[in-house]
C-alpha cells in the first residue's frame, strides 16, 4: 500500500481512512481562496456500508491507497444462506453470504459470469454485467398490437426478479434488463 497526499486522490480511487475503513472517491473539489490555505472537499462512499459523505480534508495530509483486485467469477449454486461462486481462472470456490449479495442475485442465473471486487483476499462487492437477458416465467397474457409506448404490466423472470414490462410481452419471451436501474430494455429476438 502506498501513501499518497489527499491532493492526489482522484475519482474512482479507493483509500483507507483514518478509521481503517475503505472509501472510494466519487468527486473532489479543491478550493484555493487567494493567499489562504487550500481546502479539499472529497465526496466519498464507505465501501462497507455504502454511505456517501462529503469530507473536508487538508490537501497535504496522507492516506494509504488501497489496491483492489477484480476477479471474474461464475455463479455456481446456492448452498443454504450462501451463494457459491467459482473463480474463472483458478476454479476455487468462494461462498458469499446472502446478505452480502442481497438483491443482486436476482440478476444472475447459474453459470452466469460477474466480477467480484476483492481487498486483501476478502470480497468487497459484486459487479454485475450492465445488462442481462432473462426469460419471463409469469405475466398476464400479451395484447396483440400493443406498442412499447403502451401501458406496462408486472412480470416475473426466471431468477425471481419482478419487473414492469410492456403489455406485448408474454410468458417465455426473453427480455434484456438494465442491472443498474432494474428496468426493462428490450425483447430479445429468438
Q: Consecutive sets of 10 residues in the chain, 190 residues long: mean pLDDT of each?
A: 84 86 89 82 86 88 88 92 92 90 89 90 87 92 61 91 90 92 87
pLDDT tens-digit series, residues 86-105: 998 899 999 999 888 888 89
Q: Which domains does the chain have, with CATH numbers?
A: 3-65 (2.30.30.30), 69-127 (2.40.50.140), 131-188 (2.40.50.140)
Query: Strand 131-139 vs strand 52-57: parallel, antiparallel, or unpaired?
Result: unpaired
Average pLDDT, the chain: 87
pTM of the model: 0.71
Residues 6+ apart with CB under 8 A from 153: 139, 140, 164, 165, 166, 167, 169
Amino acid at each position: 500500500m502506498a501513501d499518497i497526499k489527499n491532493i492526489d486522490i482522484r475519482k474512482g480511487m479507493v483509500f483507507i481512512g483514518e478509521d481503517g475503513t475503505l472509501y472510494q472517491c466519487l468527486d473532489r473539489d479543491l478550493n484555493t481562496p487567494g493567499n489562504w490555505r487550500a481546502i479539499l472537499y472529497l465526496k466519498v462512499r464507505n465501501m462497507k456500508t455504502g454511505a456517501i459523505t462529503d469530507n473536508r480534508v487538508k490537501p497535504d495530509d496522507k492516506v494509504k491507497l488501497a489496491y483492489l483486485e477484480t476477479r471474474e467469477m461464475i455463479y455456481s449454486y446456492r448452498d443454504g444462506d450462501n451463494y457459491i461462486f467459482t473463480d474463472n481462472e483458478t476454479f476455487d470456490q468462494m461462498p458469499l453470504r446472502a446478505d452480502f449479495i442481497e438483491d443482486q442475485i436476482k440478476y444472475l442465473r447459474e453459470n452466469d459470469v460477474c466480477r467480484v471486487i476483492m481487498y486483501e483476499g476478502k470480497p468487497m462487492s459484486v459487479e454485475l454485467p450492465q445488462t442481462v437477458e432473462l426469460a419471463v416465467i409469469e405475466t398476464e397474457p400479451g395484447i396483440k398490437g400493443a406498442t412499447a409506448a403502451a401501458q406496462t404490466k408486472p412480470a416475473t423472470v426466471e431468477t425471481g426478479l419482478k419487473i414492469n414490462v410492456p403489455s406485448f410481452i408474454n410468458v417465455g419471451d426473453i427480455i434484456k434488463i438494465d442491472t443498474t436501474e432494474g428496468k426493462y430494455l428490450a425483447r430479445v429476438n429468438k
